[in-house]
Structure 1
Amino acid sequence: MNNINNTQPANEFLLKASENVNERFRFGYHIMAPANWINDPNGLIHFKGEYHAFYQHHPYDENWGPMHWGHVKSKDLVHWEHCPIALSPGDACDVDGCFSGSAVDNNGELTLIYTGHHYIDQAQNLFFQNQNIAVSTDGIHFEKVDQNPVIAAPPADSSQHFRDPKVWKHNDTWYMILGNSTKEDIPRVILYTSPDLRTWEYKGVLDENANDMGFMWECPDFFELDGSFVFLFSPQGLESQGHKYNNLFQTGYYVGSYDYDTNHYEHGEFIELDHGHDFYAVQTLLDDQGRRIAIGWMDMWESDMPTKADGWAGALTLPRVLTLSEDRKVLMNPVEELKLLRETEHHVCEDQLVNRSHFVNVTEQLLEVKVVFNMENTNAEAIGLKIRGVGEQETVIRYTHADRKLTLDCSKSGKPADGIRNAALDANGQLTLHLFLDRSSIEIFANEGHVTMSSRIYPTEVQSGIELFAENGEVEIVECTYWNLKDIWKA
């Protein structure tokens, strides 16, 4: 048997590396590895009463390298614990990497479906990719199956890009979609079916776009949500359009209708899912409550990552529940269980007019903040809040009513070169800003998830407080509440 999955050396190295990690930017309540590099979330699943999240991981270095699968699990989506590395590359089916994929429960057997990466010429970035299976009965230790690769090669008209399988079951059949592109660099997602997860039949193209949708669609996900079918994916190669598509690569979705019998998907326009600096490769799971829960990679390719100097890089976002709005937009909101993080609650002000600014002294780094502005009782040109640090440091969230624009400005909190992101938001009547602050991140949920913005920040000075502000006028603050949050990794 060539498929050994020897994870012991990586686990031993990671244990030693974790002893030398600098704690200054380490998270208090986000998923991160004990040390070194992580990127895409993989294999999100609710299995035997526990949530499992895997992730792309290079345990030997703080930079990207031969991909392993790191692993955490939780009973409540809040208190995570590290598990042994689940997959290590180097076997015949995955010589140069265990790339992204998904997980399913196959009659009590936790099954990982992932891409094997094989370099032909690494210097020229020439490679081929195949699809593989690993299984576990205890949810912790995995064996690669003898049948690997279960899909050895892409369709004949494909480029070398053939990766990131998402697998689900419909009736008695397993379905797999894969990110792919043609030899002419037309991005697409292709479909396979299987009766047993071992033998797969190619069914054709589920969707493609030859016009303006980049050159490759990574990390596809496909699911039914509130009566519609959502295709969630991460296109590479989109050109920036004003306030849209300002990161190197994007993540977004289509909403439409799908016919399983004909493999026909009819959908609307592409919509960006998160408007912050650091959000990519989002994946979802369906839990036992029927919730569709999404988690993304909270970093971006080729971005500045100061934590590399500290012996680690990369983290995952908070878990978010997905729902569909009346106008068929995907809304993301933090899962209800995150309230378990709350330690102390502070009501700062209620029904109070703010002219210029109102300062709240808060020095803790792990915070949840909720501010509600009455937009019917404001004449200010712009309103918002600043997360203040000592000296010049601040992270600013600003809403301008005239152009209906929400802005996140991190230029004075670790992103001096490309610090500003914007999103359109119609906040007639009321503006609600729900924030989660960790030691090196901010996640914003505006107006019940109509806009989300996720960014890494790197404050080098002590936090001094929260400043509510109104520019050239005044605004009524209906509510301002914040909570000190617990550190799950030091509990």
Structure 2
Amino acid sequence: METNQAKSHEEHIEKANQATEEGSSRISEERFRLRYHLMPRTGWMNDPNGLVYFKGSYHAFYQYYPYEPSWGPMHWGHAKSEDLVNWTHLPVALAPSEPYDQGESGGYGCFSGSAVADGDSLVLLYTGHVSGKSPVEVQCLAVSSDEGITFRKSEANPVIPGPPEEGLLGFRDPKVWKHEDTWYMVIGSGKEGRGNVRLYASSDLREWRNRGIAADSDGSKGDMWECPDLFPLGGGEHHVLIVSPMNMGATKTMYLSGTFDYEAGRLTTAHAERLDYGFDFYAPQTLEDDQGRRILFGWMNMWGAKMPEQQDGWAGAMTIPRELSLQPDGSIRMVPVPELEKLREERYEVEAQVIEADTEVALPGTASDAAEIIAVFDASHSDAAEFGLRLRCSADGGEYTEVGYRAADRTVYVNRDHAGLGDGGISEVQLATQDGGLLKLHLFLDRSSLELFANDGEKTMTNRIYPQPDSLGASLFSRGGNAVLRSFEAYELKSIH
């Protein structure tokens, strides 16, 4: 027998799906639509939620508002893939429909969370957020019995009816995993200016016991930790915690690696660092697939940033999928998953050469708005002050995005001050060269995005750029001396849409 709660949710889902169909039919402008990234059919997308490998498919849920290309009462959009490259959009999974996730004003919805496979069922755990209520945030559960197509909210909701103590700044974004026979959940929070992660445990995903604080800030790492993700990486007790700290300056995502003691419920941190050094990378989440790989997606936008695509009826996108590995020093490397090679079409190669001081070398074979580029420079035999690439260049030279290396302080940077309609700014990070003095710049360019993986993913930068559609030029450059190019290859990438 269908309950009133189930009927209400079905009605809200039906409206959201209808808005998605109608909105997507109105989108005709392609200038910023990405060719091979996961993005919404219409409306607004932010945090990836519920990344999970389930019955032979990768599922990606995400924060979604189908009615406008701006943030609103949060729903969960849903897409799935068999290969991490080609994605099929499925019906909206969650819509705010109950007193614990629906309110009177815009500050409500089914906020971020996670997905787990529980036998033959796919289970979503999420934060019900209603501004003006007390408590504002509770943790909720929804279950699918048809292999992840439709979801029914639990009659036991909220399964965690509020924060464990008073005075917390936020209590949201549950990430759940199973260790041995117990389910564990981390929830983002903060208190007295110190971001922290709360740990819970359960035997059945419905009754949860508070295990205390698994990790917290020393006062210098933000006052609230959103979107926590704690997972094993590297074998043994080695674990990594990824968080999105609020009010930590330029650092919007960071990770802490070390060892996690399940009995004590505490992460002992050995290494902490910013996760991505670009402007447009937030709320990343990971999954483990059937090959044992730890794969990450991030939201490829940022709160407060200009989003010119909103004028065209949509906003937001996910990064390309990235495989994580833990290095001996506790640092993380992120590299594009090899499945992305399926996108490669025509190959273009440039021979090794010296780029003379204060010159540019045109790259006519990369005249595309969707390309993969791998350029290797020999920094040890270059005496240039700066060298690198210019991409998405206009014919008059006024519009371009520069990806370069500054020798004086060994810094890789992406300069988008002349990149088009979006925000400007220079993102940068210090980076030692590889053995032999080599610098490897691996780039994924896609209409309105640029993702850089430097030195095999030792550092990454993710940025949105918004050039004019006919700004398709590319070149190599050297300033203040000669630069040595060891190898250069590029591939035009096909569209998945």
**SS at structure 1 position matched to 2:390:** strand
2:155 aligned with 1:146, yes or no? yes
For 1:283 and 1:158, how far apart are their aligned partners in 2?
A: 27
Equivalent in the alignment of 2:336: 334
C-alpha deviation, 1:390, in angstroms: 2.6
2:299 aligned with 1:297, yes or no? yes
2:389 aligned with 1:385, yes or no? yes
2:161 aligned with 1:159, yes or no? no
For 2:217 and 2:422, how far apart are their aligned partners in 1?
A: 35
The one-letter amino acid paired with 2:379 is: M
| 8 A Cα contact 1:2 1:91, kept in partner | no
Equivalent in the alignment of 1:103: 115
The one-letter amino acid paired with 1:169 is: K
C-alpha deviation, 1:239, in angstroms: 3.2
For 1:209 and 1:354, how far apart are their aligned partners in 2?
A: 46
Distance change >3 Å, CA 127–CA 63, structure 1 → 2: farther
C-alpha deviation, 1:157, in angstroms: 3.2
| 8 A Cα contact 2:305 2:423, kept in partner | no
TM-score, normalised to structure 2, is: 0.93
For 1:49 and 1:397, how far apart are their aligned partners in 2?
A: 38
2:177 aligned with 1:168, yes or no? yes
C-alpha deviation, 1:210, in angstroms: 4.7
2:411 aligned with 1:405, yes or no? yes
Equivalent in the alignment of 1:206: 214
Q: List per-residue Cα deviations over 1:22-53 (Å, max 9, x = no partner).
A: 22100100011100111000000010000000
Counting strand residues as a fraction of each chain, which structure ranks higher? Answer: 1
| 8 A Cα contact 1:168 1:175, kept in partner | yes
Equivalent in the alignment of 1:433: 441
2:66 aligned with 1:59, yes or no? yes
Q: List per-residue Cα deviations over 1:439-471 (Å, max 9, x = no partner).
A: 100000000001100000000251332211121
Q: How does 1:427-466 map to 2 (within 5 A)?
A: 427-428=433-434, 429-466=437-474
Equivalent in the alignment of 2:242: 232
Equivalent in the alignment of 1:10: 16
The one-letter amino acid paired with 1:98 is: C
Equivalent in the alignment of 2:401: 395
**SS at structure 2 position matched to 1:422:** strand
The one-letter amino acid paired with 1:232 is: I
Q: List per-residue Cα deviations over 1:283-306 (Å, max 9, x = no partner).
A: 000000110000000000010111
Q: List per-residue Cα deviations over 1:365-423 (Å, max 9, x = no partner).
A: 11011101122321211110000223211000110122010110011113675421111
C-alpha deviation, 1:325, in angstroms: 1.9
C-alpha deviation, 1:346, in angstroms: 1.2
C-alpha deviation, 1:160, in angstroms: 5.3
2:429 aligned with 1:423, yes or no? yes
For 1:160 and 1:128, how far apart are their aligned partners in 2?
A: 11
Q: List per-residue Cα deviations over 1:186-241 (Å, max 9, x = no partner).
A: 3210111000001111111111225212211000000111132111000001135x
Equivalent in the alignment of 2:36: 29
Q: Which deviates the most, 29-38 or 385-394?
A: 385-394
| 8 A Cα contact 2:306 2:423, kept in partner | no
Runs of 4+ in 1 over 3 A off after TM superposition: 415-418
For 2:219 and 2:484, how far apart are their aligned partners in 1?
A: 46
**SS at structure 1 position matched to 2:277:** coil
For 2:40 and 2:423, how far apart are their aligned partners in 1?
A: 27
**SS at structure 2 position matched to 1:79:** coil
TM-score, normalised to structure 1, is: 0.94
- Percent of aligned pairs with the same amino acid: 44
Give structure 2 stretches of 5+ with no counterpart: 103-107
For 1:205 and 1:58, how far apart are their aligned partners in 2?
A: 32
C-alpha deviation, 1:118, in angstroms: 1.2
Report how many aligned residue pairs link the two structures. 475
